Structure 1
């Protein structure tokens, strides 16, 4: 907590941060459960569906790459507000109900999510430096709860409102509420300016954090886009497939909280970088190929692992940064470059499924990405930091 911040105002800021975090995944997790219905009613091809699940990840990466100029012009607090406004607008546009607006709205919402994704770690480093691990876990947990709510409610809301477009657009309401809650904090001030991109691009540690962020994100977006259809391919109806996906997503919350909190207290994070992704890969294979009676525990373990990977990636950003400005720059690099490459995961996963008609090759791809994430992330687990940001005039 900053020295000029009272405990009461710190709690209010923390709650507002949680509201923002809750709205950073429903735009992504609500599409998968109704993707089959979208294809049925619009004629969207399998390649189009793969593009739809890939588009938000690309937009996330591009938005993250623009975060440093946003910090310089607006400050991180106003940048978060701008991000939430874009999320609300994009979700509302998806309610129009045609394919062009579905893609446009998804792109706009993902751009807003990208801004907030980058800026929140810098705000944690600035405002909650003494409790960075628990705060990272809390907002990551809340983010995962938002994802679970979107995945679980998508089909019931679609049936209640009689239309996939309305079921997707209704999530603009909590986004507007989050923007309103954040508005009092949208002041034009913030941490020191982020380091120049060239400095981080020459830092091997920054690249290792970036690689782990991108690869673990690829796993998460594969599940957001394809887990419901995978379960439907194993014989579940859309409602029950969505509920299993929601169960997995719901368990991301304790995975993020526990992993981020405990990993931040460890001397270094290498054991966590091996254990959590390894558990994720094993659980995915059980969900995709295992016996039906193992589906519930496997879905819970899968969600815990994916949430833990994300919480661990954000914890690495906070711990490997020397100060708040470095955290902003490292977050922009890790998420900007990482998400662009993460977009290849759901695309390749969908194409592997389309090529074989089954989930075996796609499952091999999932495990390969996991092993690559472990190999890339291990050096980032050592207790070291990128250089502190240098002041920039102007």
Structure 2
């Protein structure tokens, strides 16, 4: 799982992962973790324990104040009822310590006790608030109904001569509605915070995925460049080395010239390989500086290099000189010609390769490379081939939005034809 091993968020299920909620979004009077329905253990932080202790002490103090106020009426309750009320209040307040683990059970029990006990009234409101925060609205509605029934029974069991039963029932209903509304507001706010945190984390994961995909794409492009460049250089090395092997009695000047070309090609191949390996080892987000990429204007230089290596190449270019081809089109055309000449050296050495480039903005650019089949065996032995040259050409041209055609013509020549789009 990305970004650590924490489980995914489920905002609709309530607050399940407190470590994802910023501290300034937390509500002091409620838990930051949804209580488990099975009554399992609940992890409590120091803040949670402080909140629970505050709730218990506040409920005890409020219950004692309500119990004391009940002694000031014209007809105070009996001593036995006072002792029962006080006992129920103490037990109910201490039960708040388990409201996180059993919110519904604690709330129902305290609401039942509040039907005759003044001292448990504040604790029952705390428990009702906990249910509103941590449970869905059907459960909250059911517990609220229990609260309404409990308030009605309190009016029956503990009537106040100075206040009518209607007003007491209305006050109980208002308190219940206010506590439930506050709890559901806190729940909705927490769900909103969690959804925003989840959205931010998803956006971060998507960003990391896009970065990784960009790196993979770049490394794939570098691998193609490595294949094209090194195959070209190594084929030149093979051709010159084969010439020296075929003509050991060549004049010293020709041998020296061929050896110089071999040394220069080997050095260029090593430079290309060093640059590619350096890029592959770079894991930073920055783009390493490299040599300028070839363009359509570099094709004549490529052909001349092949001619100096002993190949016979006929080059025809029918492209407007005053219009520069787009970078992608020019680089793709260059690599296509490079791969085509490499294949000719590998599979049809000694033949004449005809390279024809034509096109302009609008109709597009066409690269046509034709060569006849080799007659007899290669003079210097066939060079090894990975068999992926034309596959790489197809992938490269496909990325540029072009098309590739290759195969034997009716005249018995092998033809590689590539069309590349060139916007007007």
Give TM-score scaled by structure 1 length. Answer: 0.23
Higher percent of residues as strand = 2
Give TM-score scaled by structure 2 length. Answer: 0.21
Higher RCO structure, 1 or 2 (CA under 8 Å, sep 6+):
1
Largest Rg, 1 or 2: 2
Higher percent of residues as helix = 1
